[in-house]
Structure 1
Amino acid sequence: MAALHGRSAIVAGGSRGAGAGVARALGSAGATVYVTGRTVRGGQPPLDGAAGTVDDTAAEVTRRGGCGIAAPCDHTDDAQVEGLFARVQQEQGRLDLLVNAVWGGNELPSLQADWGRPCWQQQQGPAAGWEAMFTAGVRPALIASYHAARLMAAQGSGLVVNVTYAFPGDKAGTYLGHLLYDLAKVSLSRLAFGLAEELRPHGAAALALSPGHMRTERVLQHFGTDEQHWQEEPGLAGSESPEYLGRAVAALAADPNVLRRSGQVLLVGELARQYGFTDIDGTQPPPFVPPL
């Protein structure tokens, strides 16, 4: 029997990237996964044309032995989010796992060009970055966590995972190189910490989880390569597939003692050694530390 057979999960932002990698790994573990996002088959594609829909990811979850359910949802629309959690409660009777992987920052056209520049020298002002990283990033995590916490506190169990970014050995003190990006990622980590404090007396957990340099669809597109040829690109040395993150989430969700990790910022590369899982190529990439 798969480790997560009978468990229900919501992966918010599961069309592609980190969220899709998490959903696939949960499918391999036998979970029922509601894959949410705005991109559906036959609908409007992202501005940069990145591949992936909630339907594609849900189908892959099912193909791997789980139960994938495509649940289109705009996480900036509170009514849609409320409806999503009501649906899961009605259909499953419980919610065991929420993964907050919604992130609009990748759709900010100037993000790469502005990286490393002082905020006052960036091509776009702070308003654009706020909309992409907070309105379409931090706020969706807050709203989804609110609904998940209400269900988990009532049932006396559950896990909320916020996808963030952090450095090994210095999980809050190193500047990430872009003012709003740094502020958003630290906010996601702090959200998990505060939620953990409130959920702990009710037997549920919350934590932040940091992957390394992920080979998402957008990253592979940026380097002009694909998953079969990425080793030929020096800029992707030491990178990891989004499913490495997913396997970390699956390991945490299956851990009966996960409450002891509640409130922490955890690194995928460190968890791989602790739980014994690997990336899809059989390797265990260590936590990634880019030059700043």
Structure 2
Amino acid sequence: MSTDNKIILVTGASRGAGKGIALALAEPGQVIYVTGRSQSEGDAPLPGTVFATAKEIEARGATAVPVVCDHSDDTQVKALFEQIDTEQGRLDILVNNALMVPDGLTLPGPFWEKPLGLQDILNVGFRSSYVSSYYAAPLLLRSERGLVVNTSSAGGGCYMHGPAYGAGKAGVDKMAHDMAVDFRPFNVAVVSLWMGLLKTERSMAVFEAQPELY
């Protein structure tokens, strides 16, 4: 396997961090699968679609494969990895970035005064990273040097947005540690990446709506 010819999957790449990561990896020779639920503008409150991300990847010289996938649905996730297996036969890099960002996440106050739906982040974010890694494992074992990246934040180690958010981030951090133990004999590394504040579509919308806070 050439170091310039990697098979990559970035989940949750219609916009935000996932899109940025996919574009950063987009170099000639790379094959980058990107997933997302947004097929057309207007499908989500924020701009961006999985197909628009794929178009930008192609413009940078890499090969892009957009796949519409809801990471809360294990059947769709399994089908995604079956597609990669059929088309590529291996996976070199998995970026677990898909995340459900619930309404009210940044509201002030204690957790019991916020919507119960904030715990949805434990499904698409925490649980979905486990499911994707589970189905990716056989493909990663066929790579000369595999890599799994869980996107996380400092919220895994301090108070940030409340206990649901913190538990989700701490969970993917610990998951990376323990998966690394299992993967080590097979030359697959696992890391959890604390990304910090990013200039994403969501962040900019918050800044524009509440400029006095920033």
> One fold, TM greater than 0.5?
yes
- Given the alignment, which residue of 85, 106, 125 partners 1:89? 85
Does structure 1 conserve the Cα–Cα contact (< 8 Å) formed by 2:158 and 2:166? Answer: no
| C-alpha contact 1:148 1:160 (8 A) present in aligned 2 | no
Does structure 1 retain, via aligned residues, the 8 Å contact 2:50–2:66? yes
Q: 1:72 aligns with which of 33, 55, 68?
A: 68
Structure 2 residue matching 1:60: 3-state secondary structure: helix
Give the length in aligned residue pairs: 212
1:130 pairs, out of 101, 119, 124, with: 119
How far, CA to CA, are the matches of 1:234 and 1:119 in structure 2? 21
**Structure 1, residues 32-60: CA drift from partner, whole Å, max 9, x if none?**
11110110126x612xx200100000110
Structure 2 residue matching 1:198: 3-state secondary structure: helix
Contact 2:89-2:139 within 8 A present in 1 as well: no
CA deviations 1:122-156 (Å, max 9, x no partner) are 2323xx1222x011211111100111122222445
Q: How many Å apart are 1:25 and its aligned residue?
A: 0.8
Aligned equivalent of 2:189, options 187, 205, 224: 205
Q: Residue 61 of structure 1 aligns with which residue?
A: 57
Tell me the CA shift for residue 234 of structure 1. Answer: 8.8
Q: Give, in whole Å, the separation in 2 of the partners of 1:193 and 1:134.
A: 18
Gaps of 5+ in 2: none
Aligned to 2:16: 17
Asked if the contact 1:23/1:61 (under 8 Å) is kept, the reply is yes
Pairing 1:194–2:178 present: yes
Letter of the 1:94 partner, please give it. Answer: R
What code does the residue aligned with 1:15 have? S
Q: Is the 8 A contact 2:72 2:128 kept in 1?
A: yes
* Structure-to-structure mapping, 1:1-292, within 5 angstroms: 5-28=4-27, 30-41=29-40, 45-46=43-44, 49-105=45-101, 108-114=102-108, 117-120=109-112, 122-125=113-116, 128-131=117-120, 133-155=121-143, 157-166=145-154, 173-224=157-208, 235=214
1:12–1:35 contact (8 Å) kept in structure 2 = yes
* Correspondence for 1:250: none
Q: Which amino acid aligns with 2:190?
A: A
8 A contact 2:90–2:142 mirrored in 1 = no
Q: Take 1:155 and 1:26, find their aligned partners in 2: how far apart are those partners? A: 17
Q: TM-score, normalised by structure 1?
A: 0.68
Distance of aligned partners of 1:151 and 1:92 in 2 relative to their CA distance in 1, 3 Å threshold: same
Alpha-carbon offset, residue 177 of structure 1:
4.5
Percent identity for Structure 1 against Structure 2: 35
> How far is the alpha carbon of 1:159 from its aligned partner?
0.5
In 2: Cα distance, 1:83 partner to 1:17 partner:
24
Q: Deviations over 1:233-266 (max 9, x none)?
A: 993xxxxxxxxxxxxxxxxxxxxxxxxxxxxxxx
Q: Which amino acid aligns with 1:224?
A: E
SS class of match (2:190): strand
Coordinate RMSD, CA, aligned:
2.2
Q: What is the SS of the residue equivalent to 2:166?
A: helix
- TM-score, length basis structure 2: 0.91
CA distance in 2, matches of 1:25, 1:176: 27
Q: Distance in 1 between matches of 2:13 and 2:118?
A: 22
Match for 2:125: what amino acid? G
| Cα distance in 2, alignment partners of residues 4 and 218 from structure 1 | 34
Counterpart-to-counterpart distance in 2, 1:110 and 1:161: 27
Runs (5+) with no aligned partner, structure 1 = 226-231, 236-292
- Residue type at the aligned position of 1:130: Q
Taking the aligned partners of 2:124 and 2:213, their CA distance within structure 1 comes to: 32
Q: SS at 1:41's partner residue?
A: coil
The 8 Å contact of residues 91 and 146 in structure 2, kept in 1 or not, is answered as yes
8 Å CA contact retained: 1:8, 1:33: yes
Q: Is the 8 A contact 2:157 2:170 kept in 1?
A: no
